[in-house]
Amino acid sequence: MIWLVRVYLFLMSFVYVLIGGWAILDPLASALDLGWPSFMDAIGLSVKSEIGYSEIAGIYGGLNLCIGLMCLVGIFKENIGIFSVKVITFLVGSIALGRMLFSLLPTTPTFYNTYFIFEISAFTIGILLLYFYKKLNQTT
């Protein structure tokens, strides 16, 4: 596995573990008034009922945490690493596409924000890494 794939997986692992942990701990940090920035404020969501906290922890927390752990394992296991790059590339590309399609509806806000920039960057790097990985493996 090329070293750039490992660097990418390390960065994605760091980002996704932090996001997942932040989402899981956000309600607790808020209740204890720890002074952390609110995850839900950062993404523009609010909880309307008790189940909402579980949804934030499960969907945003659990999913992101496991993606980050998958990337961490992928640093050391090539087949999991390449699978992780494929998953993240598909995931961030899908999210970016959803943002763009939503922005085409009348009176909706633009898709261009820092999350979109991250998604397009991760998508582009993922596509390039997969292309060069495939090209490198065809010549050997």
Contact 65, 20 (CB under 8 A): yes
Rounded to two decimals, the pTM is 0.87
What range defines the domain where residue 10 resides? 3-139
The arithmetic mean of pLDDT across residues 16-37, rounded, is: 88
For residue range 52-103, what is the model confidence (pLDDT) as tens digits? 888 888 899 999 999 999 999 999 999 999 999 999 999 999 999 999 999 8
Give the pLDDT of residue 1.
Answer: 64
Report CA-CA distances (Å) from 134 to 37, 80, 138.
Answer: 41, 15, 6
| Residue 61 DSSP code | I
Q: Looking at the predicted structure, is the pLDDT value of residue 19 above 90?
A: yes
Give the pLDDT of residue 91.
Answer: 96
Comparing CA positions, the residue from 126, 117, 116, 94 lying closest to residue 9 is 126
**Is residue 36 very low, low, confident or very high in pLDDT (cuts 50, 70, 90)?**
confident
**Is residue 140 very low, low, confident or very high in pLDDT (cuts 50, 70, 90)?**
low
Tokens 């009922």 -> residue: 49
Higher pLDDT, 121 or 35: 121
How many domains is the chain partitioned into structurally? Answer: 1
Comparing CA positions, the residue from 67, 86, 75, 76 lying closest to residue 129 is 86
* Helix segments in 44-113, DSSP class H: 50-55, 63-76, 78-103
d(CA 119, CA 68): 15
Greatest alpha-carbon span in the chain: 57
